[in-house]
Amino acid sequence: MSTTLLEIPGYRVHGQLGKGGMAEVFLATQESLSRKVAIKVLHSAEDEAFSQRFVREAHIVASLNHPSIITIYDIDRLDDGRYYLAMEFLPGGDLARHKGEVFAPERALQIVRQIASGLAVVHDKGLVHRDVKPANVLFRGDGTAVLTDFGVAKDLDIDSELTQFGVAVGSPAYSSPEQAQCQVLDARSDIYSLGVILLEMLTGSNPYRGGNYTQTVVNHVQMEPPPLPDSLGAFRGLLARMLAKAPDERFADCRVLLAALDEVELSDLDETQIRPALVLPETPAPLPAAAPRKRRSSMPLLVALSVLVLIGTLTFAGLYIKQQRQIAALLEQAEQRFAAGQLIEPAQDSAEQYFNQALALDDDNAEALAGLQRIREARIKVFTDLAEQRLADGLLSEPAEDSADYYYRQALAIDPQHAGVLAGLQKVLQARIARYLELAEQSIADKRLLLPAEDSAVYYYQQILGWAPDNADALAGLNRVALLYRDLARAAYRRGDFPGALAMIERGLQAEPQNPELLQMQGEHQQLLADARAANARAAADRAAREERERNNNPIKRAWNNIFGQ
């Protein structure tokens, strides 16, 4: 749908701000309050599970209230069924736009303090953000840093459904070691990600970002933070704890981190700056009067200066021409390697290497910058073409390093926001879900409802819900299995097989623990058992009393008792 055709009741849409794999963002005016807002609109209404996650994100953010957390104004659906989210408009752009810049320590500390205070509120709500990265740090017009994009936020006390199946979430370049290894996360993972951002703002680079997804993960797990220069010595202890590999060695929570941020002495940074060795007096002492001297002509001095300027100009021009020739030669070599397909390998004789060498001589060289962008696009195309082939062949996630999922993630490591790659990963997920739905249907046809443990209908439906917790087909499938067990239980009752009926009820509840019919049948069965036990107990007591009366009515026993006084 084009921007000009987009109509949202109560809003006047001005234009598109951005577009991703699943949604696009528009600038609009909320007519009732005459204020600018950003409206995030899903591309499609067909994926109900994703739509529910979108709504869930809105509810999460709306439950938070902090100056450094984006404010949600409204959530609703368009006439075509797509959900949209109206939130505050942040005109200052995101932190990712400043990639490569070195921030003043005061500003870097201010940004981290603001985001940490917002994260403290997130964590207090029992949530972990899981995707703290520069692209998710936006700025208001006054420069206030604001945390956004809670699409992968998760309850702290519930294991991630993605982690259970070995799928890491978040952005690799800013993921904590435990996040990169698909382990259960808590608030300390967000602190690590914030530490990477702080390091990048102070030094201008992210040392953990590798040439590919795998190398980036290995760097987070194994590589120690680089040593800071003396000019940033006040941050060493702070970053050492934020970037500790083991979560237990980091700050326990963001409130402890905020206290540590307050203790950073920026005055220590000032002491490392170069200062004059001597303090000059404000007013120089008067010089003794000099004897009058004979005035000389300034012409020789002017001639000498002109000669020096001319020599310097010629020298500079010569160096400039030499540099331009070097750059031209490097660009030519880069283009030759690009044409030969040597994009990044071999490392010392690739297109990437020569473009980077050209940038080392001229860091604003447009041709070299465009060349590196072409390399990224070409590499992404190689990986996405391979991914599409594997997808067509049905190789979704296996073999581990030759599957559609693997190649899409390789492309994602090059450009984490690439819409085509994100859409490809979504296609992989949908294909895996479709396959498991087919396997579940076959299992039902073969009467493999609950067993064997890893080849049954219940197993396949639960796997799907691990990837997509709100998948309607899987939820309906589990309900179907539960009802099949309900019917089996009723048949057992009709045969008088009460133990068999109870076994069917319990199996049905394994498929759908909250099924109301099975829960009612289980309660009724337990009540029948209790009533039967009570009836048996009463019958036993009646038998004992009857036997006692019969013994007392025996004439021989009565005579015996009379003789012996018993």
Query: For 302, how many CA atoms within 13 A lie in the half-sphere containing its CB?
Result: 4
Which pLDDT score is estimated for 289? Answer: 45
User: What was the pLDDT predicted at 282?
Assistant: 41
* Average of per-residue pLDDT across 413-423: 89
Q: Which residues pair with 19 in a beta bridge?
A: 24
Residues facing residue 17 across a β-bridge: none
Q: Using a CB cutoff of 8 Å and minimum separation of 24, what contacts does 257-260 make?
A: 257/116, 257/191, 257/194, 258/113, 258/116, 258/117, 258/120
Q: How confident is the model at residue 310 (pLDDT cuts 50, 70, 90)?
A: low
> In this structure, are residues 90 and 70 in contact, taking their beta carbons and an 8 Å threshold?
yes
Residue 14 banded pLDDT, cuts 50, 70, 90: confident
What's residue 476's pLDDT?
95
- Residue 16 — φ and ψ, nearest 5°? -85, 135
Active site residue 131: yes
pLDDT of residue 287: 42
- Tens of pLDDT along 75-95? 999 988 999 999 999 888 889
- The two tokens of residue 224 are 């120690």
Q: What is the pLDDT of residues 526-562, one digit of tens each?
A: 888 888 788 888 888 888 888 777 766 766 666 666 6
pLDDT-derived band at 170 (thresholds 50, 70, 90) equals low
Helices (H), 66-186: 105-124, 177-180
Give the pLDDT score at 52: 85
Q: What is the pLDDT of residue 319?
A: 63
Indicate which residue of 94, 131, 149, 253 is catalytic.
131
Encode pLDDT of 437-473 as tens digits.
999 999 999 999 999 988 999 999 999 999 898 999 9
pTM for the full predicted model: 0.48
The predicted-structure confidence for 237-246, as pLDDT tens digits, reads as follows 999 999 999 9
- Higher model confidence: residue 308 or residue 487? 487
Separation in Å, CA 259 to CA 255, 263, 269, 342? 6, 7, 19, 50
Give the N- to C-terminal CA distance of the chain in Å, as an integer. Answer: 105
Calpha distance 29→352 (Å, rounded): 44
Is residue 29 over pLDDT 50?
Answer: yes
Residue 364 is encoded by which pair of tokens? 């604003």
pLDDT (0 to 100) of residue 317: 57
Mean pLDDT value of segment 339-360: 85
More confident residue, 37 or 290: 37
Could you give the CA distance from residue 261 to residue 118 in angstroms, rounded to a whole number? 14
Give per-residue pLDDT as tens, 487-535.
999 999 899 898 898 999 999 999 999 999 999 999 988 888 888 788 8
| Averaged pLDDT for residues 328-341 | 90
559 phi/psi in degrees, rounded to 5? -65, -45
Other residues' Cβ atoms within 10 Å of the Cβ of residue 307:
10
**pLDDT: which is higher, 49 or 306:** 49
**Phi then psi dihedrals of residue 478, to 5 deg:** -65, -40
Comparing CA positions, the residue from 64, 60, 50 lying closest to residue 20 is 50
Given this model, what pLDDT does residue 149 score? 81
- Reduced to 3 states, what is the DSSP secondary structure of residue 84? strand
- Residue 179, pLDDT score: 87
- pLDDT beyond 60 at 162: no
Radius of gyration of the chain (CA): 37
Q: What is the mean pLDDT of the chain?
A: 83
User: 483: pLDDT confidence band, cut at 50, 70 and 90?
Assistant: very high
Say which residues have a Cβ less than 8 Å from residue 72's Cβ, sequence separation at least 6: 58, 61, 62, 85, 86, 87
Q: Which stretch, 11-20, 37-46, 186-195, 295-304, has highest mean pLDDT?
A: 186-195
Query: What's residue 267's pLDDT?
Result: 67
Q: Is the pLDDT at 16 greater than 90, yes or no?
A: no
**What percent of the chain stands above pLDDT 90?**
45
Work out the average pLDDT over 110-125. 94
Mind listing the domains of the chain with CATH numbers? 3-88 (3.30.200.20), 95-270 (1.10.510.10), 309-391 (no CATH), 449-462+470-566 (1.25.40)
Give the confidence band of 256 by pLDDT, cuts at 50, 70, 90. Answer: very high
